[in-house]
Chain A
């Protein structure tokens, strides 16, 4: 590492330790780093948005390429800013309505296809007398029982109650698997910071 890199990494290490200090209790070092990142993140995003999005999608098309059809959505976008005025706030609803109308219209058939149709299609598989076939049978049973558990128009008693109980066990197995993987994910974040600190201190003091 060069001296400049050491200095930058020193800043990163200091800020890392500021955040870790929260494990003991809330303190000014933690608060400093927390507030700094909020400002830096917002500033970073603002300039990124300006250069790569506002310039590319609004300024250049209208003022350099003369694509005048961009003026209408630009006006609608500016109408969003009327949210700050009590008198004119109703104007922002027009832009919001266009946004929501297009969004829901596009989403509806896609939700139907991806969340419902494709999932049901993949669940209904031909029966086979093999290990794969047994798994398929279990999968169909577990999916059905899970759906039974979420059916609240009938009391969960008798056979139906038993099936919905299998449904809740299936759900718990699913949540357990999610938790196990979540532990791995959270630990990975900690490990990455520890590896960073280790490498920094080795660079600073030698191994």
Chain B
């Protein structure tokens, strides 16, 4: 019964909301609005689970691993300081300590972490982009042409820009469309399997 009830809920909700799409009436819009609104409220209340999990894990690291204690402490300190500085709704406005910490701690670190990828992608291009076969040459050739558009080469640039435009809107578009249709069919099949109760991994184990 513990597994059956959720399966029935999924079946009923799934079918109701599929039908709702095809019947644009006041009543069906009412169901849609309330269904989505309720899902949002449920989702909002589920988010503290993630926050709690992270804090618990960091706290246990601090307690159990003396070598990691300092860094776990730094993380907890960061969390605590943001909580304290953001207690009032006014702190969401520019100029508050909460927003200054966001601007001068969170933004630079996050932005820099991702900027490291520039170095890794340069290294990856050097190691992986070798014309070993026709397929590899296709990959290398198109990437090369696309990258070349950022280098001013006089009249060659005009030809290159036109070529990049064509690559993006014809072969690239066709490749991505083929993938999209495949993804779409896969997603539809998964949705049907979930609604019919064939796919039930989301229930977890007992």
In their complex, do chains A and B touch, with some C-beta pair under 8 Å?
yes
Min CB distance A171 to B, Å, is 5
Determine if B114 and A80 form an interchain contact, defined as CB atoms under 8 angstroms apart: no
- In the complex, what residues of B have CB within 8 A of residue A77's CB? 41-46
Chain A 162-184 near chain B by CB (<8 Å), digits 1 or 0: 00000111111111111111111
Chain B, interface SS category? helix
Given contacts A8-B104, A35-B78, A44-B82, contact A102 B134 (CB under 8 A): no
Q: How far is the CA of A80 from the CA of B53 in the complex (A)?
A: 13
Chain A 44-88 near chain B by CB (<8 Å), digits 1 or 0: 111111011111011000000000011011101110110110000
Number of A interface residues in the complex (CB < 8 A): 114
Q: How far is the CA of A33 from the CA of B116 in the complex (A)?
A: 14
Q: How far is the CA of A58 from the CA of B145 in the complex (A)?
A: 53
Determine if A54 and B171 form an interchain contact, defined as CB atoms under 8 angstroms apart: no
Q: How far is the CA of A96 from the CA of B194 in the complex (A)?
A: 12
Contact-residue bracket for chain B? 35 or more
Q: Which of A41, A105, A111, A172 contacts B15 (CB 8 A)?
A: A105
Determine if A180 and B174 form an interchain contact, defined as CB atoms under 8 angstroms apart: no
Q: Which of B5, B74, B107 contacts A35 (CB 8 A)?
A: B74
- In the complex, what residues of A have CB within 8 A of residue B108's CB? 12-13, 15-16, 193, 196
Determine if A39 and B14 form an interchain contact, defined as CB atoms under 8 angstroms apart: no
Q: Is A128 an interface residue (CB 8 A)?
A: no
Q: Is B157 an interface residue (CB 8 A)?
A: no
Q: Is A11 an interface residue (CB 8 A)?
A: yes
- In the complex, what residues of A have CB within 8 A of residue B12's CB? 101
Q: How far is the CA of A23 from the CA of B112 in the complex (A)?
A: 11
Given contacts A12-B104, A147-B181, contact A170 B45 (CB under 8 A): no
Which residues 88-136 of B sit at the A interface, judged by CB distance below 8 A?
89, 91-92, 98, 100-122, 125, 134-136
Q: How far is the CA of A44 from the CA of B172 in the complex (A)?
A: 39
Determine if A94 and B5 form an interchain contact, defined as CB atoms under 8 angstroms apart: yes
Q: How far is the CA of A81 from the CA of B47 in the complex (A)?
A: 10
Min CB distance B114 to A, Å, is 5
Chain A 97-117 near chain B by CB (<8 Å), digits 1 or 0: 111111111111111101110
Q: Is B179 an interface residue (CB 8 A)?
A: yes
Q: How far is the CA of A102 from the CA of B17 in the complex (A)?
A: 6
Given contacts A174-B175, A182-B121, contact A107 B54 (CB under 8 A): no
- In the complex, what residues of B have CB within 8 A of residue A149's CB? 178
Q: How far is the CA of A48 from the CA of B110 in the complex (A)?
A: 18
- In the complex, what residues of B have CB within 8 A of residue A44's CB? 82, 86, 98, 101-102, 106
**Residues of A that sit less than 8 Å from B by CB:** 8-9, 11-13, 15-16, 18-20, 22-23, 31-49, 51-55, 57-58, 69-70, 72-74, 76-78, 80-81, 83-84, 89-90, 93-112, 114-116, 119-120, 122-123, 135, 138-139, 141-143, 146-147, 149-150, 167-184, 186-187, 189-190, 192-193, 196
7 A-B residue pairs with Cβ-Cβ distance under 8 Å, sorted by A, are A80-B46, A94-B9, A97-B203, A102-B14, A111-B184, A183-B147, A186-B114
Other than A18-B109, A142-B171, give 12 A-B pairs with Cβ distance below 8 A.
Answer: A36-B109, A39-B78, A39-B82, A89-B204, A93-B3, A95-B42, A122-B177, A149-B178, A150-B182, A176-B141, A177-B172, A180-B145
